[in-house]
Amino acid sequence: MFNLILFGPPGSGKGTQSEKLITQYGLKHLSTGDLLRSEIAGKTPLGIEAKAIMDKGHLVPDEVVIGMISSALEANPHAKGFLFDGFPRTSTQAEALDKLLDLKKTSIAAMIALAVSEEELVKRLLKRGETSGRSDDINEGIVRERLVEYHKKTSVVADYYKQFDKVVVIAGEGTVDEIFARLCKEIDGILNNK
Ligand code: ADP
C-alpha cells in the first residue's frame, strides 16, 4: 500500500490537489472535512453536533474523526493506498492513525505539506465562500479562527512526522497545474526510492 498525507492550512489547496492526485496515483481519497459535510447534509446526530463546532471555526473532537477514519479504512480493504486530506489535524489523531495503519501492516510513506502565505489563505477562503455554500468560509472572523486553530493544534502534526523524516514541503502558490506538477515530481521520487 502507498499512503500519503496532504497537509497544510485551510485554503492551501488540499481538496483541489487531492482530486487530481487520486486519479494520477489510484489512491482512495479520505477527507475528514468531506466526511463531516456529508454527515451534515444527511442531518445525522453526528452531523448536527459537528456543524455547530465547524461553524465556530473549531476542530471537532478527536474521537469523532478517528472513528470516521477507522470506519473508512475498514470499508476499503482493497484500496491500493489512501490519500489523507484534513487528517490528522492533532497529535492525538496522528498517533491514532499510525496505530490503525499498523494493524493493516502498512504506514504513511510521506506527509506533503503545502506552504501558502496567510494573506493568500484568507483571500482564497473568502473567495471560495462566495460560491461554495460552505458556512465556515463566509465570514472573515470564522476563517481567521480556523487559522488560529491550525497554528495552535495542527501545525505541530508536521513535527510528529519530521521525527521520522517523512515531511516534504511544496510551494502552494502558483497555478493549480504548476502546484500539481511539483507534487507529482516529489511523489514520483518517493515511489522510485521505495
Ligand atoms: P479546511 O481545510 O478548508 O479548513 P476541511 O474541509 O478540511 O476544510 O475542514 C472543515 C472543518 O471540519 C474544520 O474547520 C473542522 O471544524 C472540521 N474538521 C475537518 N477535519 C478535522 C479533523 N481531522 N479534526 C477535527 N476537525 C476536523
Cα dihedral sign for 98, 101, 27, 71? Answer: negative
pTM, whole model, 2 decimals?
Answer: 0.95
* Residues 67, 63: Cα–Cα separation, whole Å: 6
Q: Is residue 134 among the annotated active site residues?
A: yes
40-53 exposure pattern, b = at least 16 Cβ within 10 A, e = fewer: beeeeebbeebbee
* Residues 9, 26: Cα–Cα separation, whole Å: 25
pLDDT digits (tens, 9 = 90+) for 23-59: 999 999 999 999 999 999 999 999 999 999 999 999 9
pLDDT of residue 193: 87
Average pLDDT, the chain: 97
Q: What is the CATH number of the domain that holds 50?
A: 3.40.50.300
How far does the centroid of ligand 1 lie from the alpha carbon of residue 136, in Å? 10
Quote the number of domains for the chain.
1
pLDDT digits (tens, 9 = 90+) for 90-115: 999 999 999 999 999 999 999 999 99
* Residues 167, 97: Cα–Cα separation, whole Å: 16
Q: Which structural domain, as residue segments, surrounds residue 153?
A: 2-192
For a mutational test of ligand 1's pocket, the pick from 91, 114, 146, i.e. the residue with the most ligand atoms closer than 8 A to its C-beta, is: 146
Q: Is residue 89 among the annotated active site residues?
A: yes
Q: Retrieve residue 39's grid coordinates.
A: 454527515
Residue 59 DSSP class: P
* Residues 11, 117: Cα–Cα separation, whole Å: 10
Instruction: Please state, for a pLDDT cut of 70, what percent of the chain lies above it.
Output: 100
Catalytic annotation, pick one of 14, 124, 166, 182: 14
For ligand 1, residues with CB inside 6 Å are 10-11, 14, 32-33, 36, 53-54, 58-60, 65, 86-87, 89, 93, 136, 146
Average pLDDT (116-134) is 95
Residue 60 DSSP class: P
